[in-house]
Amino acid sequence: MPRVKRGTKRRAKRKKILERASGYFLTKSKLYRSAKESVERGLKFAYSGRKQKKRQYRSIWIVRINAAAKMNGISYSQFINGLRKSGVELDRKVLAEIAAHDAPAFATLAAQAKSALGS
């Protein structure tokens, strides 16, 4: 069986890692071993960051909905509960968009939630 020396594959693998590490500080962008560690660590943070971004957006939406609900004289939890009881099935992303850009429409939603809680 012929002998394999891995010249091009090894070079391509190292080049890929070092290209990903460009911009890192000192040896982390120059030396393969430390660059590889830094790139793996960065990829780990990128993966977890994609998950955290979803959580952070949801909390921002809740803050915006809460602020708009308070301006209409109802708490966030009562507002969401009232919407559920009245059968309005809008998610928090859409509610936050309405709260930020269309105050009269949000006021009608708040009134609808209040009336659903009252009955």
What is the tens place of the pLDDT at every residue in 56-106? 999 999 999 999 999 999 999 999 999 999 999 999 999 999 999 999 999
pLDDT at 35 over 70: yes
* Cα–Cα dist 36/64, whole Å: 41
Q: What percent of the chain has pLDDT over 70?
A: 99
Chain segment 74-86, per-residue pLDDT in tens: 999 999 999 999 9
Render the burial of 13-52: b for 16+ CB within 10 Å, e for the rest: eeeebbebbeebeeebbeeeeebbebbeeeeeeeeeeeee
Q: Would you say how long the chain is, in residues?
A: 119
pLDDT at 119 over 60: no
Ordered structural domains, the chain, with CATH: 8-118 (1.10.1900.20)
pLDDT at 108 over 70: yes
State the burial class of residue 100 (Cβ atoms within 10 Å of its Cβ: 0-12, 13-18, 19+).
middle
Per-residue pLDDT, 22: 96
